Structure 1
Amino acid sequence: MTKAQKIWIDLDNSPHVPFFAPIISGLEERGHRVWVTARDRFQVAELADLHGIPNVMIGRDYGKNKLAKIAGLLHRALQLFPLVRQEKPTLALSHGSRAQVAAAKMAGIPTIVMLDYEFIDLSFPFTIDDIFMPEAIPERAITANCTNIWRYPGIKEDVYAPAFVPGKDILGELAIAPDRIIVTMRPPATTAHYHNVKSEVLFDDVISLAAATPNTAIIMLPRNENQREEICEAWRHLLDSGKMIIPEKAVSGLDLVWHSDLVVSGGGTMVREAAALGIPAYSVFSGQTGCVDRRLVETGRLKLIVNFEDIAGAIAIRKRTECQGGFRGSQTLPAILDRIEEVIDRHPPVPH
């Protein structure tokens, strides 16, 4: 039996909040203590409050400039280090938080880095102890310097989607009539190192198609304040007419996806949440397609929009009568929790 330990989780981006919420609960149910830090970027703070996750907020978003990103990473790692020395966690766990890995290594704490996209830059000057990733990604795809790689069943979104129970009246909160065709859209991650500007052009064309379709309501979810301002400027006429709506505060992503007739995104978590729930999901991501998305395409859970001809031909903008499936992967969460405890057993607490 695994001895109870303190585990440090770092919420580095907004999708990490719903992902780690059941992991935190699961670890606490098994007797472990969880200490959470978070970075104040996008909607991390609001979503952490929404999920009831107490946290210490350290750092912010450092923009798209590569040098600024590196300087911000080092600065945040140095901010985290004294807190880590004070809290004395046994293990550091994140979904690709570079600053956490750097701070943990300085403090001599073993690290688990979770990822679901093999082309992410994990070029650290030191060794990662463990990488957890979906089984769709082959080990040979990972070039990072790590000691152990473990591939879990399902996808990241299967950690929390199977436990989802629809309930919140999202459409009522947004004053949208239920008979309208709900098109939920999330722009491409323009500050990511893997961003391709083609995604933005494709995304704009999908907006135009959705706007031209009768009885649609476009719910737009900008990733940051700059995107919000750009969308407001470019699509002011749709916002003024009520054709497009940008929620004023953070909303439950799964509830919104569940009440949508289709979801279109520049890649990332939300479109895979739709795939996990069986909602029609379309990605205009134009970077290197990862193994997880390819697996979702092969199983019919996701459609990739790679050129302009695909937009009108492949995207069906209509009322959804039922889910296509979904709620798979119920074994993903317990498998991850079991493996975390195996790592804990392998690494005795670090003396301070």
Structure 2
Amino acid sequence: MQTTITNHTSTLSEPFIVRPEPSIGTLSGRKIWIDLENSPHVPFFRPIIEELGKLGLHVFVTARDCAQTRELADYFGLSYKLFGRHSGKNKVAKAVRLGVRMCQLTPTIRSEKPALALSHGSRSSTFLASILRIPSITIFDYEFVNQITLPSLGWVMVPEVLPDEAVHFRRDRVLKYPGIKEDVYVPFFRPDPSAMGQLGINGKDIVITVRPPATNAHYHNPESEHLLVTAIEFIGRNPAVKIILLPRYPEQARALRKTWSALFASGRMLIPEHVVDGLNLIWYSDLVISGGGTMNREAAALNVPVYSIFRGKIGAVDRYLSGCGRLVLLENTADVPKRVMITRRTRPASPHSGTAVTLQAVISHVLKVLELTAGPVN
């Protein structure tokens, strides 16, 4: 299934890219399987899919019905096949659901015969690729992920800021890219000012985007929820503030609506009715408070003030951003009133897009692995 991208208000606007010339005889007709297991995978893989297509490679995409993955894939016009759904926090249910999803995927993957499986930490993709003897690249940017899921027959790709000792894998199979994962797609972002009007936001509001922690994730620390409550109480006391809340799951949205019913009733807190472009929302926010690593790093990449309420183990990427002053790590509830600055930011006319050096590095690694594993075209 050839993946296509339709035109959209924030369609890919191409920065300077130097495209490598693949060996047509070796790579033409090769097929790459990309699996989207979670919401952040959609914007990350979107420019990768487009670049691989421009190089004459065929990409087919599978997705899991988890968080906003399906809605974002539809929003950005990706063509995909849906397999499986999120299983919640229970470890036994997670293991069962993983096995079920792999069984569901197997006939399609056998039929498609990909030359390479590419994912950002997808357990289904990594395990199934190993079982079916498909070369794979597993990308990750958080060293405390369970590395038992890394591919037995493949490569891993990580940001350069991850120290070698944090990656428990064969050194000759570790590929590194410059910058952070969000640098793959943020250079393509072009703001759409109409989106905020659709949410009822005007120029007088101090807009704060809030992303709750991933309470169903294996790495969740309940301290993050205490920080969330303290942060909303603090910013909610400012009458100029408008809070855009981005829950992860329907049950989380219901609980937050009940807890903060007064803020919702006054119109000072809202949950978008439909999926929104996260980068656009961040760009038109005055600050971001988030329990999710991806949104924190997207804000940092856009130079928007961002405060992390994530209380799991802090990874090398977040330590790097914190050290650069691009991310504020809130460590306890006392930090909230001390460190969170509620102020309207001076927004430039457009973000600094720069070049697509991170995307170039990822694509080059993919081509290198394809050449190393080249066999007869399926």
Structure 2 residue 324 is matched with structure 1 residue 317: no
Contact 2:61 2:81 in 1 (8 A): yes
- Aligned residue in 1 for 2:370: 344
Question: 2:209 aligned to 184, 199, 202, which one?
Answer: 184
Instruction: Quote the offset at 1:236 in angstroms.
Output: 1.2
* CA deviation map 1:51-84 (0-9, x unaligned): 1110000000000001111111111111111110
- Aligned residue in 2 for 1:46: 71
Paired residue secondary structure (1:340): helix
Structure-2 separation of matches of 1:180 and 1:57: 39
Contact 1:196 1:287 in 2 (8 A): yes
- Aligned residue in 2 for 1:34: 59
Letter in 2 for 1:299: C
Pairing of 1:13-32 with structure 2 (within 5 A): 13-32=38-57
Contact 1:6 1:33 in 2 (8 A): yes
* CA deviation map 1:115-169 (0-9, x unaligned): 0100011314961511111111012102257861111000000000011111242
Give ranges in structure 1 of 5+ residues lacking alignment. none
Letter in 1 for 2:53: E
Instruction: Quote the offset at 1:328 in angstroms.
Output: 5.7
1:280–1:327 Cα change, 3 Å: farther
1:48–1:146 Cα change, 3 Å: farther
Greater mean deviation of Cα atoms: 320-329 or 194-203 = 320-329
Q: How many residues in Structure 1 have an aligned counterpart in Structure 2?
A: 352
* CA deviation map 1:222-241 (0-9, x unaligned): 01111111111111111111
Letter in 2 for 1:66: K
Paired residue secondary structure (1:76): helix
1:236–1:329 Cα change, 3 Å: farther
Pairing of 1:238-257 with structure 2 (within 5 A): 238-257=263-282
Structure 2 residue 96 is matched with structure 1 residue 71: yes
- Aligned residue in 1 for 2:197: 172
Contact 1:10 1:100 in 2 (8 A): yes
Contact 2:306 2:328 in 1 (8 A): yes
Paired residue secondary structure (1:123): helix
Structure 2 residue 358 is matched with structure 1 residue 332: yes
Paired residue secondary structure (1:264): strand
- Aligned residue in 2 for 1:150: 175
Structure-1 separation of matches of 2:224 and 2:281: 23
Structure-2 separation of matches of 1:101 and 1:125: 7
How many percent identity over aligned positions?
45
Contact 2:138 2:151 in 1 (8 A): no
1:173–1:203 Cα change, 3 Å: same
Pairing of 1:168-317 with structure 2 (within 5 A): 168-317=193-342
Structure 2 residue 142 is matched with structure 1 residue 117: yes
- Aligned residue in 1 for 2:10: none
1:341–1:114 Cα change, 3 Å: same
- Aligned residue in 2 for 1:132: 157
Structure-2 separation of matches of 1:160 and 1:267: 18
Structure 2 residue 184 is matched with structure 1 residue 159: yes
Structure-2 separation of matches of 1:82 and 1:147: 32
Structure-1 separation of matches of 2:270 and 2:256: 11
Contact 1:216 1:243 in 2 (8 A): yes
Contact 1:158 1:327 in 2 (8 A): no
- Aligned residue in 2 for 1:11: 36
Instruction: Quote the offset at 1:86 in angstroms.
Output: 0.4
Contact 1:81 1:104 in 2 (8 A): no
Contact 2:126 2:150 in 1 (8 A): no
Structure-2 separation of matches of 1:126 and 1:6: 19
Paired residue secondary structure (1:58): strand
Contact 2:138 2:150 in 1 (8 A): no
Cα RMSD (Å): 1.8
Contact 2:207 2:286 in 1 (8 A): yes
Contact 1:10 1:37 in 2 (8 A): yes
Instruction: Quote the offset at 1:322 in angstroms.
Output: 3.0
Q: Normalising by the residue count of structure 1, what TM-score does the alignment of the two structures yield? A: 0.96
Structure-1 separation of matches of 2:64 and 2:171: 24
Contact 1:90 1:350 in 2 (8 A): no
1:326–1:186 Cα change, 3 Å: farther
Letter in 1 for 2:338: G
